[in-house]
Amino acid sequence: MEPDAIPLSIRGLDYQIADRKLLSGLDLTVHTGESVAVMGPSGSGKSSLLSLALGLIKPQAGQLRVCGTDLVGLSPAQVTRLRRQHIGMVFQFGELLPELMPIENVALPALLSGKRKEPSYQQARRLLEELGVPVDGVATAELSGGERQRAAVARALMESPSLLLADEPTGALDEDSRNHVADVLFATPGQRGCGLLVVTHDRAVAARADRVLYLQHGHLVESAGKDGR
């Protein structure tokens, strides 16, 4: 894999579900160090776009290159490998395991990839500290919503992804927590040299991205100047 490959390059993507064409010839490039926000009406296909980029669902047509490899033709095992190697994902509700401590949640992707426990825990601790999440003595279920989301960002960064995806990462948060999570998220492309693709309904969050795109009739269009809906 070329080290300087573009984190995400999508060309001519068609995706249809149950007779309904959601994405139609969609093109999108997310470069290293760049953040892109995708907005659009409920049901327009934003989360589907992320699921496609994760290789969880397959398009009917088009190319979807992650770090230079088109994941459309790959086997499930190959997709899993590519995802573990190159992609970090943050969900709306963090999706942390409440039975595990925060540090265990964050270290988990590295442990699943077969990394050794000690250095994985050290790295998880470092990430949590950097992102302002309590490391010791607080159970995952006791974290505030904002802390949980920052722990989810830490977990997504654990394997140093080239591509960071986030689906409504601040959707469940109050304004202060939202701002803190957005600060952390939008700092990552510059600090860690990844590409960031964020789906959000929140205009203030989207406005922090280098580019804001609007999903409309299956295409992505520049949304600057639009009233948004």
Ligand X SMILES: Nc1ncnc2c1ncn2[C@@H]1O[C@H](COP(=O)(O)OP(=O)(O)OP(=O)(O)O)[C@@H](O)[C@H]1O
Instruction: State which of residues 6, 28, 35, 44 lies at the interface with ligand X (CB under 6 A).
Output: 44
* Cβ contacts of 168 within 8 Å, gap of 6 or more: 91, 92, 199, 200, 201
- Which of 6, 8, 10, 22: binder of ligand X (CB under 6 A)? 22
The nearest distance, CB 170 to ligand X, in angstroms, is 14
Restricted to residues 102-161, the positions that interact with ligand X (CB under 6 A) are none
Q: Is 166 in the site for ligand X (CB under 6 A)?
A: no
Strand ordering across the sheet containing 163-167: 87-90, 163-167, 195-199, 35-39, 211-216, 219-222
Segment interacting with ligand X (CB under 6 A) among 2-10, 36-44, 67-75, 145-153 = 36-44
Told to check if 216 binds ligand X by CB under 6 A, we report no
- Candidate residues 1, 25, 43, 190; the one interacting with ligand X per rule CB under 6 A: 43
Please report whether residue 47 would count as binding ligand X according to CB under 6 A: yes
Q: Which of 55, 62, 56, 80 has its CA nearest to residue 15?
A: 62
Task: Using alpha carbons, list the distances in angstroms from residue 100 to 92, 108, 147.
Answer: 19, 10, 15
Amino acid at 10: I
Ramachandran category for residue 134: left, alpha or beta (phi over 0 → left; psi -120 to 50 → alpha): beta
Q: Residue 45 interacts with ligand X (CB under 6 A)?
A: yes
| Angle (CA) 113 188 56, round 5° | 45
Q: Which is nearer to ligand X, 126 or 203 (CB)?
A: 203
Residue (34 or 202) nearer to ligand X, CB: 202
The residues with which 18 forms a beta bridge, in sequence order, are none
Helix (H, G, I), strand (E, B) or coil at 200: coil
Which of the ranges 43-51, 60-68, 71-79, 123-131 carries the binding residues for ligand X, by CB under 6 A?
A: 43-51
Binding positions for ligand X, 195-214, rule CB under 6 A = none
Does 77 help bind ligand X (rule: CB under 6 A)? no
The span of 15-23, 79-87, 119-127, 136-144 binding ligand X (CB under 6 A) equals: 15-23
In angstroms, the CA 110 to CA 18 distance is 37
User: Nearest distance from residue 30's CB to ligand X, in Å?
Assistant: 18
Give whichever of 22 and 79 is closer to ligand X, judged by the CB atom.
22
Site residues (vs ligand X, CB under 6 A) = 17-18, 22, 40, 42-48
